[in-house]
Amino acid sequence: MSAIFKREFISYFTSPVGYAVLAAFTFFSGIFMWVYCMYPGTSNMSGVFQSMFFIVLFVIPLITMRLFAEDKKQKTDQALLTAPVGIPSIVTAKYLSALAMTGLCLSAFIIEGITLSFMSHPDWSVIIGNVFGMALLGSSFIAIGLFISSLTESVIVAGIVSFAVNVLISLLDTVASTIPADFIKDMFSSLSFQSRYSHFALGLFSLSDVLYFVTLTFFFLFLTDRVIERRRWA
Amino acid sequence: MSEQEKNINEEKNPSASNMTRRNKRRIISIASICLVLAAVILVNVIASVLTDRYAVFTTDITSDNSFGLSEESVKIAQGVKKDVTITFLTDKVNYEAYDTYCKQATNIADQLKKYSDGKISVEYKDLLKNPNIENEYKSETLSVTDVLVTCGEKYNLLKVEDMFNFELYGDYQYISSSKAESAFDTAIVKVTSDTETKIGIITDNTEDSYSTLESTLAANNYTLVPFSIENEQIPDDVATVICYAPTKDYSKDATDKLRKFLKNDDKYDRGLIFIAYRFEIECPNITDLLYDYGMKLEDGLAFETQTTSMMTTGDAYRNIAANFSSTKPYMSNYTDKDFPVLVSMSRAVTLVNESTTEPLLMFSSESGICPYSATDDWVWQDYITGNVIVMAQGAAGGDNGISRLIFSGSTEMWNSLLTQAEFTNKKYILNILNDINHREDTGVYLSEKVITKYDLSSVDSQTKVVTSVIIYAVLPVLILGVGVCVFIVRRRK
């Protein structure tokens, strides 16, 4: 499993994807830091985290799109499937490599927090909590991306569909506001990534939000496992 | 079919056997997916129910508990015995989209609900989609930003200005802090309270407005009953009378009525609040009444020279009276005992009988009294007496009870300055009235919550620009540069 993890993680930096993703993430978080912290003169990074939600929405499909689709296209998946390692291990290794890449992106917030510490006293508990929240959000996006990547051999299709699904789930609360039926409205709102994540951005940790992201991640990883398993026996 | 027969069949028809195995695997796979999905849904439903019902499953990680409830609010929520509904007059998504402070307000409402053991419920009803709400509250001008707190027939309408403090940045008005928690608490206390206390207010010779005082008291289940002390009797059902900035002296009969009111057939237990007019008036009868309660009205306005006690540097007459009496009456629920009251254009008073009187609010040791007779060339240094008293109380009574005559030199302190969120005028005044009227179920005044503190405003803009450029330009370029280098090295290999 560690060999697959290493291979996948290193592959981000042997192709332009890793650098492009890191640079884009740093660029946008820096821009938002200027807009929400430096310019108005506050060390409260909530605005940065809320805005970065949409960047994560774009960036994660770039990280996940090639995880299985590329293997399938290059036919290297055969080697992977016949390797003496269980499918859950393969899925987990790929998931962890993408999560590590996301973690690397999130380190930009720590750099920004340290920078703000030189000027004021930012609320570190909120920054750390937000990084954790964004890691959970990223984790769910990765699991969805991984699942979609396992369904296709086109990297582009995997990326676009992942992005579309992420957008759809994220904006469910906006859709919900147009629905007259309260039950459906509440259900849609509670499924929305954005409404779940906004609590973290404010500095609120709730059991249901954490479990939502964790269980969603688990569910999509499980689905990915099933898809690969099916392919192994096909 | 026996195992042996099965094996023979599989040998005869291997593709059929594969199909069976594949179908089995498919069924197992689908069943396991359904099982996992059901487990995921179940876990989330349980977590949502628990989080929705119990506050313990949500943690506010902000350092100053910006989204959490204070102990006072928790007590109020836990003490609610009737069904209370907090209704936001728009959708949750729309309301929260206005500002982070609105999210904080919805979160506070949710937490009040969680602590109330099902007594408080939170609803979102879009005013535009439910026009019947407007018909229900015809006397009110409702807006989508309003919040209704209802309990049976009683309600309290919270407007945005009740929930938040605003500041101007150029032409743009933004929320600078939130008082939503206090507003919810006060509204809940008001709608659930069965007590409605009346306070008499003398209207004779009163020019100054007391509309803010009236609305503040109304929000706390107090009703002001205006009456003429010259032509009417003091209403029977009031235990407190306010003499609000009379511009002329009362008649002897009127002050005798007030004396009799305070004596209350030797039962005492009454309160008279005398708020002085800021300009000089001839008032021998009022002066005598105050003297009876150990106070002498000074012929001048209190001024301050200590800049730290001035509201605005250079304005000697608009000051922070943080110098409370040593016994600190009416401050039992203050968490910060030095939290200031703002007093403006105040007449001064001195104590003539220290055994029955006590100062309530004083200016600093560098304050003085500017006499009404002062001319433009007066030397203020000559008039500094220190610790000028701007609010005091005298007491009379016996074993049955004590009546209090409270003198306040500032009209603004009791009206326009009640809206100054950074000062505790409102809380202090309510404490006085609650104490006289033996009320405990009125307004809650917690410190305002500030989510966004502008703590980088002192950092020079050049530093901020350079730092930002390093983060959003230099760092990404460096990362891309490393990427290009790796790419070139790999190509050469």
**Tokens read off for B49:** 């129910």
* B67 to A202: CB separation less than 8 angstroms, yes or no: yes
Summarised one tens digit per residue, pLDDT across range B157-172 is 998 888 888 877 777 7
Q: What is the pLDDT of residues B110-154, one digit of tens each?
A: 989 999 988 999 999 988 888 889 888 888 889 999 999 999 888
- pLDDT over 70 at B323, yes or no: no
Give the residue on A whose Cα is nearest the Cα of B457.
A41
**Helical residues (DSSP H) of B91-218, grouped into ranges:** 92-98, 100-115, 132-136, 160-163, 180-192, 211-218
Q: Which CATH fold topology does B196-436 show?
A: Rossmann fold (3.40.50)
User: What string of DSSP letters covers A86-128?
Assistant: -HHHHHHHHHHHHHHHHHHHHHHHHHHHHHHHHHS---HHHHH
> Does B445 score more than 70 pLDDT?
no
Angle at B335 between CA B163 and CA B311, to 5 degrees: 70
Q: Is A84 on the interface with B (CB under 8 A)?
A: no
CA distances from A98 to A133, B18, B187, B271 (A): 16, 36, 50, 72
Q: Which helix (H) or strand (E) holds B81?
A: none
A76: contact with B, CB 8 A cutoff: no
pLDDT, residue B424, reads 78
Decide: B310 and B369 in contact? Cβ < 8 Å.
no
Phi then psi for residue B459, to 5 deg, are: -75, 135
In A15-68, where does DSSP find H-type helix? 16-33, 46-64
Residue A113, token pair as written in the block: 């927090």
Q: Please list every residue in chain A whose beta carbon sits closer than 8 Å to the beta carbon of residue B25.
A: 230, 233
Instruction: Please state, in angstroms and as integers, the Cα–Cα distance from residue A223 to each residue in A147, B5, B30, B461, following that order.
Output: 7, 37, 10, 51
pLDDT of residue B446: 61
pLDDT over 60 (residue B443): no
The answer to whether A203 faces chain B, any CB pair under 8 Å, is yes
Q: Specify whether the CB–CB gap between B184 and B221 falls below 8 A.
A: no
Hey, are the CB atoms on A16 and B483 less than 8 Å from each other? yes
3-state DSSP assignment of residue B266: coil
| Residue-level pLDDT at B310 | 77
Q: Do A233 and B490 touch (CB under 8 A)?
A: no
Total structural domains within chain A: 1
In angstroms, the CA A46 to CA A125 distance is 12
Q: Does A33 touch chain B (CB under 8 A)?
A: yes
Query: Any CB–CB contact under 8 A between A117 and chain B?
Result: no
Closest residue by Cα to residue B59 from B114, B138, B127: B114
pLDDT of res. B326? 64
Q: Environment class of residue B438 by beta-carbon count within 10 Å: exposed (0-12), middle (13-18) or buried (19+)? A: exposed
pLDDT class for B17, splitting at 50, 70, 90?
low
Beta-ladder partners of B297: B349
Q: Tell me, what's the pLDDT at B42? A: 93
Mean pLDDT of B176-180: 84
How big is the CA angle at B452 (ends B446 and B454), to the nearest 5 degrees?
115
Cα–Cα distance between A66 and A62 in angstroms, integer? 8
Helix B71-79 × helix B180-192 angle, to 10°: 30
Nearest C-alpha neighbor of B147 from the set B136, B134, B163: B163
- Cα–Cα distance measured from residue B405 to residue B391, given in angstroms and rounded to the nearest whole number: 11
In one letter, which amino acid is A9? F
Render pLDDT for A143-162 as a digit per residue (tens, 0 to 9). 999 999 999 888 899 999 99
Q: Which of B33, B91, B475 sits opposite A223 (nearest CB)?
A: B33
Percentages (nearest 5) of helix, strand, coil residues in chain B: 40, 25, 35
Distance, first Cα to last Cα, chain B: 65
Mean pLDDT, range B88-108, rounded to an integer: 88
CA distance B410 to B103: 38
> Could you tell me which residues come within 8 angstroms of residue B351 by beta carbon, excluding any fewer than 6 positions away?
B294, B295, B296, B357, B358, B359, B389, B392
Range of A74-78, B6-10, B131-135, B419-423 with top mean pLDDT: B131-135
Contact B362, B306 (CB under 8 A): no
Estimate the crossing angle of helix A124-151 against helix A46-64, to 10 degrees. 20
Per the DSSP assignment, residues forming a β-bridge with B224 are B199
Q: Count other Cβ atoms within 10 Å, centred on residue B243.
A: 26
Mutation to test the A interface, candidates B56, B129, B452, most A Cβ within 10 Å: B452
Chain A residues in contact with B92 by the CB 8 A cut-off are: 189
Which is nearest to A9 in space by CA: A73, A67, A81? A67
Angle, alpha carbons A69-A70-A71 (nearest 5°): 90
Pairing, β B154-158 against β B147-151: antiparallel
Alpha-carbon gap, residue A6 to B48, rounded angstroms: 37
Distance CA A203, CA A197 (A): 10
> What pLDDT does residue B162 have?
84
Q: Mind giving me the DSSP string for B89-108?
A: SS-HHHHHHH-HHHHHHHHH
* pLDDT at res. A185: 77
The answer to whether residues A196 and A118 touch, using CB atoms and an 8 Å cutoff, is no
CB contact under 8 A, A33 and B58: no
Does A132 reach chain B within 8 Å, measured CB to CB?
A: no
Q: Does A43 touch chain B (CB under 8 A)?
A: yes
Provide the pLDDT for residue B224.
92
Cα-Cα end-to-end distance for chain A: 23
Do the beta carbons of residue B309 and residue B320 sit within 8 Å?
yes
User: What is the torsional sign of CA B405, B410, B411, B415?
Assistant: negative
For residue range B234-293, what is the model confidence (pLDDT) as tens digits? Answer: 999 999 999 999 999 999 999 999 999 999 999 999 999 999 998 888 899 999 999 999
Mean pLDDT of chain B: 85
Fold that domain B71-185 belongs to in CATH: Glutaredoxin (3.40.30)
- The answer to whether residue B441 scores a pLDDT higher than 80 is no
* Residues in chain B closer than 8 A to A121 (CB atoms): 455
Cβ-contact A2, A93 below 8 angstroms: yes
* Contact across the interface for A222 and B490, Cβ inside 8 Å: no
Give all strands (DSSP E) within B125-163, no chain letters.
147-151, 154-158
| 3-class DSSP state of B202 | strand
**CA gap B307, B314 in Å, rounded:** 8
Query: Does A80 contact B at CB distance below 8 Å?
Result: no
Range of the domain at A92: 2-233
Task: Show the low-confidence residues of chain A (pLDDT under 50).
Answer: none
Q: Which residues of B touch A26 (CB under 8 A)?
A: 471-472, 475-476, 479
